[in-house]
Chain A
Amino acid sequence: MTTTMLRRLSRLHGRLGSVFSPVHMCARSQSSATAERKRFYQDVSISQGEGGLYEINLDRRKLKTPGGKLFTVPNEALAIAVATEWDAQRDTLKFYTMHLSTLCNTALDNPTQRDKDQMITAALKFLETDTVCYRVDEPNALVELQKNEWDPVLHWMEKRYDVKIGSSSSILGPEIPKATKDTFRQHLTSYNFWSLTGLEYVITQLKSVVLSMGMIDRHLTVEQAVLLSRLEEEYQIGFWGNVEWAHDYDMYELRARTAAGALFVHLASESSTVKRKLMQD
C-alpha cells in the first residue's frame, strides 16, 4: 500500500475510533427522531376559506396536515384555539403539547382509515373493561373509596341513558347486557366523525367510557374526570407520597389531553344560533 492510502486509513480509523469513544458522546440525544423544528413563523392568523371552513396561516403560508391536506376546521372557535396553540410555541415546536392540532390532523387525515361504525364498536368494546366498573377486593379503604366515588357516576349514567351497566370485582369484568350496548350505539351514531374522533381519544386517555360520557355530557369537569380515572393512583399517592416528576407530570399531561379531547368534541358538534328575545311589556 502507498503511504497516502495508509495515512487515509489511519485518519479514517481515528475518526471512527473517536465516535466509539464514550468521552465524545454528546450531552443531548442526537437521534433524528427527536430533531427539533424551530419556530419558523412570526404571526399566526386564521382565515375563512371556501365552504365556510377556517384555515390557519403561519405568516403567509397555509398550514397543512402531516398527510399533505389543507388544514381546515369547521368553526371559528376551534380555529382560534388551534392558532393559539401554534402561537404558544417559543423557539422550538413542541408537537406533544399541541393536542388540538393533533386531533384535527387525525380527523382530517384518518391515518387508520376507519369509519364511524368501527370507531363506535371500538368505543363500546372499552365498556367491558371500563375503569369505573372494574373494582378491587382489597384493601378495604380502596374498596370504600371506589364505591363512594364511582357508584354515583355509574348510577347517573344508568339513569341518564336508561341502561344497566353494573360493576364487578371479578377478573372478567362486568357483564354488559346487549340492550345497553345498543342504546349507546344509537346515541354515539348521532355524533359526527370529528366528534367521534375526539370521543375515542378521551376514552383512550381516561380508560373509561362512563367517565368520558359523564364529562362530555357536562356532568363532570375535566379535573373531576381525571381524578376519578386515577382514583387508585391517588389513593396510593395519599398512602406512600407524591413524586412530582412522575405523578404530577402524568396528571397534568392527562388533564391537558382530556381537556383537549373534550373541547374538540364540543366544538366539533356545536352549532350556535343567536336568538333575540323581543321586549315584552
Chain B
Amino acid sequence: MAALSSPLRVCRGILKELRAIQGPTYKRSQAYNYIMEQFRKNKVTGERYCRAQQELNHDSHTYLCLLASTRTHMALHELYHSKGEASTKSAAAMVGLRLPTQPGGKGWEK
C-alpha cells in the first residue's frame, strides 16, 4: 500500500525508544548492537527491488511500532488508570462533602 518511511527515520525512532528504555547507557546494550548491525548489513543491495530489504524494512517498522506503542500505552495507564479506588473520605471531598461524624463514637468502635 503506501510507501514506508525511510529506514533512517525508523532507525532513529528505534534508537530513541531504546534510549527511553535504558537511559544513557543504551549504546552498550545488546539490542543497540543488534539493531545497528542489521541496519548496516542491509544498507547496500545490488538489486533495484530487494525483497529481503523490503521485508526487513517492514519488520523494523513493526518493532518501532511495538516499542513506541508499549511506552505510550504504559504512560496512558499511569496517567489515567493507576490510582485505584479513593477512600470514602476523599471521594466525598471530591464533591465537597464530608463524612458524618458521631461525637460519642459508634458503639462498636474502640
The chain A residues found within 8 Å of chain B, CB to CB, are 13-14, 17-18, 21-23, 25-29, 45-46, 76-77, 80-81, 83-84, 87-88, 94, 97, 99-100, 152, 218-224, 244-245, 248-249, 252-253, 255-256, 259-260, 262-263, 266, 274, 277
Contact = CB atoms under 8 A, between A and B. Distances in A.
B34 to A, nearest CB: 5
B65 A221 contact: yes
26 contacts: A22-B87, A23-B89, A25-B87, A28-B85, A77-B34, A80-B31, A83-B31, A87-B31, A88-B22, A94-B74, A97-B73, A97-B74, A99-B66, A99-B70, A220-B1, A221-B1, A221-B4, A224-B1, A224-B2, A249-B77, A249-B80, A252-B69, A256-B66, A256-B69, A263-B66, A266-B55
A27 B63 contact: no
Interface string B72-110: 111011011101111111100000000100000000111
B29 interface: yes
A266 B1 contact: no
Main secondary structure of the interface of A (DSSP, over half): helix
B45 to A, nearest CB: 10
Given A29-B84, A220-B1, A266-B55, 12 more contacts: A13-B108, A27-B87, A84-B21, A97-B73, A97-B74, A224-B1, A245-B81, A253-B69, A256-B70, A256-B73, A259-B65, A259-B66
Contact of B84 (A28, A219, A252): A28
Interface residues of B, number: 43
A245 B76 CA distance: 7
Nearest to A260: B66
A25 B88 contact: yes
Interface string B44-69: 00100000001100110111011001
Among all A-B residue pairs, the 3 with the closest Cβ atoms: A259-B66, A255-B69, A245-B80
Nearest to B46: A277
Given A23-B99, A277-B46, A252 B31 contact: no
Contacts of A224: 1-2
A266 B99 contact: no
A223 B65 contact: yes
A13 B110 CA distance: 9
Contacts of A262: 62
Contact of A14 (B46, B89, B110): B110
A54 to B, nearest CB: 11
Nearest to B33: A80
B109 to A, nearest CB: 6
Nearest to A156: B1
B61 A221 contact: yes
Contacts of B46: 277
A219 B52 CA distance: 14
Contact of A263 (B1, B59, B83): B59
B62 A259 contact: yes
B6 interface: no
Contacts of B79: 245
A29 B50 CA distance: 54
A248 B22 CA distance: 25
B21 to A, nearest CB: 4
Contacts of A28: 84-85
Instruction: Identify which of A152, A219, A255 gathers the most chain B CB atoms within 10 Å of its CB.
Output: A255
Given A221-B4, A259-B63, A277-B46, A252 B76 contact: yes
Instruction: Identify which of B34, B73, B83 gathers the most chain A CB atoms within 10 Å of its CB.
Output: B73
Contacts of B65: 221-223, 255-256, 259
